[in-house]
Structure 1
């Protein structure tokens, strides 16, 4: 048996290739849209990808089932409650899929969504299970959140109660030595306490995962309904796209270089200019009105918080990283990238009045201005992060909600934006400027730097 995990850190996304070396058959579970790695590994192991299984309709990325089916002729499988515009196979609880000797058993585990399933993997029929691919039902350290499917009409409380049963009556009934392989890890907005470990066992989760401990259903529902990260608006779009017979991902090699004039024309018709350089480089000089989402971070997910899914996008990137940026946007279904600015960052100084500087302040300046001036401190962290501490008197709007709630930020006074470490604050500050706020700066080092400076030994 071949069982390989592919982990994409920027989306905290785990996908899997399961194959039988003797029969040469394989399936891919929860694939991303850029599928070359799956195909290359299958070929290297003399495997043919005959099926693709999605454990549920993902909301945080667009899955690559259509791309894999087009490239390999594989069937596409879901739990029995799934309905799609494209042809699928559906599987009920206890149904098996034979890859030759290797056997997959479908476990219905609704709760994150109604159609959610987990995939139990055995090296041969009748053997003790080796692993369970739990999708977004059971994570390492937590369980899936039940409120994302509200975007397609599901009731979060009903889903939470279904998840209680899925955890306690299905997954926690498995043997302790079964490996747990989830669809997401730390940083994902699909849960709140996810571990940075990439695999675990049922026994380890039984001991260490607070969300699977014995408790009543009402207690479980209250626990998983509270403290969840803010939901990026593109999640609702992707949850629908994964049901649709949508276009395949665009080849990044076709990305077009634009002149400054062409970029300005695109902006005039409503395109978003997305500067993917670091917050530090962005602050040194950038085109007025651009959004800063650094590519060396949770790039696609964060871009999806501040750019509309229906907007055209022009990319500004360090030379050689334009296609990477476009491909990563494509992973969340943002395919309307019209090109990239064919002007290196070092030439910005020659572009005159369309260039502006951002201003990042240190902790000392931050404290002085928030105390001495009529200044708004804006905290763009998630609710769970704020539980660990916050700057007194700060206005709190999660970054994922800032674009639609920016009118809550006063426009008649300076604004100082901060996050945890100084990356998201640049996104938030640039978003406010693009939306018409004029006097906006952000805190270098974020709350971590501020809290360190205010420890008792440093006071």
Structure 2
């Protein structure tokens, strides 16, 4: 078996490549939108990507299922409760997907609704005849240290209580019914707003989660609902937008997409037409001098998620980015479906030096001055 985990720190998001060494057939699970890395790895290893599985309609990022299907001709699979504008392969509870021969790598679908109604987990068997799975890709049903929250507005038409009752069954009966040795590979880690207590670890086992995960300890459904829904963080505003877009036959992101460098005149023209300025430089640099009206969301840390809180999906955006990171910043914004990045300002420091009348500086206070002002 070939098994690869891809992890994005900025979105705390994991995706997976699973392949059979003999048949060279591969499936990608929960892909991000910039799919070049999956395609490059498949070429290097001589693999054919035959399928793409999404464990559910993601709310925190735009999935790359359509991009992968276009590039490879792969089928797109969702749990059989899912409906979408594009053609999907309905994956049924207990269905087995062989990637090789009878004793080759085999996937088995497990319906685990609760985070969303259509959520599934994917059992991965190194050999089709194995009694115990190598691991389970749990999507947002089970995290390391937590479970998927059932209260996201993305699940339109279902209440948090309805979904919570589904999740109780999925976690307490189905996932905790697996053998202790089965490895757990979730779709998210610490920092994601899809849960409240996610670990920084990127894999675990069912046995370890049974022992240490507060939501996996035996409890009735009412106790489960109380403990799982308490203290959840606010969901970023773009979550509903992405969950909706992931169901649609949307515009594709072309491979190796780039955004152009803009001259000062082009940049100024876009701003005059209503484009908003995203300054992705370090906060210290921004404080020292920035273009008036710019919003500082630095490139380090959880930039895309924060952009989704302070900009709207329909906003036209012009970038001011650290040198050499312009394309990376644009790609990270595209991962949450914000597709209206017009370009980035070439030589921002030179542009600000040439137009000092349009430069602002942050007002800064000492702790003592802040205490006095608050008083």
| TM-score, normalised by the number of residues in structure 2 | 0.96
Residue in 1 that maps onto 2:55: 55
8 Å Cα contact 2:36-2:255 kept in structure 1: no
Q: Secondary structure at the match of 1:86?
A: coil
C-alpha deviation, 1:214, in angstroms: 1.3
1:263 to 251, 267, 271: 267
1:278-427 map, 5 Å: 278-371=282-375
Aligned pair 1:73/2:70, yes or no?
A: no
Q: Secondary structure at the match of 2:355?
A: helix
Q: What whole-Å deviation, never above 9, does each CA across 1:257-294 have from its counterpart, x for those lacking one?
A: 22333223222322111000011110000011111000
Distance of 1:361 and 1:181 partners within structure 2:
45
Q: Secondary structure at the match of 2:4?
A: strand
Distance of 2:158 and 2:350 partners within structure 1:
50
C-alpha deviation, 1:209, in angstroms: 0.5
1:175 to 171, 179, 182: 179
8 Å Cα contact 1:112-1:163 kept in structure 2: yes
Distance of 1:368 and 1:205 partners within structure 2:
49
C-alpha deviation, 1:213, in angstroms: 1.0
Q: Assess, with a 3 A threshold, how the Cα gap between structure 1 residues 20 and 252 changes in structure 2: closer, same or farther.
A: closer
Aligned pair 1:113/2:116, yes or no?
A: yes
C-alpha deviation, 1:353, in angstroms: 1.9
8 Å Cα contact 2:135-2:184 kept in structure 1: yes
8 Å Cα contact 2:67-2:254 kept in structure 1: no
1:148-227 map, 5 Å: 148-150=152-154, 152-227=156-231
Gaps of 5+ in 2: none
Distance of 1:215 and 1:150 partners within structure 2:
27
How big is the alpha-carbon RMSD for the aligned residues of Structure 1 and Structure 2?
1.4
Residue in 1 that maps onto 2:9: 9
Distance of 1:177 and 1:302 partners within structure 2:
37
Aligned pair 1:122/2:125, yes or no?
A: yes
8 Å Cα contact 2:264-2:351 kept in structure 1: no
Gaps of 5+ in 1: 372-459
Q: Assess, with a 3 A threshold, how the Cα gap between structure 1 residues 253 and 75 changes in structure 2: closer, same or farther.
A: closer
**Count of aligned residue pairs for this structure pair:** 371
1:133 to 123, 130, 137: 137
8 Å Cα contact 1:152-1:240 kept in structure 2: no
Residue in 2 that maps onto 1:249: 253
8 Å Cα contact 1:21-1:46 kept in structure 2: no
8 Å Cα contact 1:250-1:335 kept in structure 2: no
Q: What whole-Å deviation, never above 9, does each CA across 1:214-236 have from its counterpart, x for those lacking one?
A: 11211111222221111111111
Distance of 2:171 and 2:341 partners within structure 1:
41
C-alpha deviation, 1:251, in angstroms: 5.4
Distance of 1:151 and 1:269 partners within structure 2:
36
Q: Assess, with a 3 A threshold, how the Cα gap between structure 1 residues 18 and 149 changes in structure 2: closer, same or farther.
A: farther
Per chain length, whose mean CA-contact separation is higher, i.e. which structure has more relative contact order (CA < 8 Å, sep 6+)? 2
8 Å Cα contact 1:21-1:45 kept in structure 2: no
1:102 to 102, 105, 113: 105
C-alpha deviation, 1:253, in angstroms: 5.0
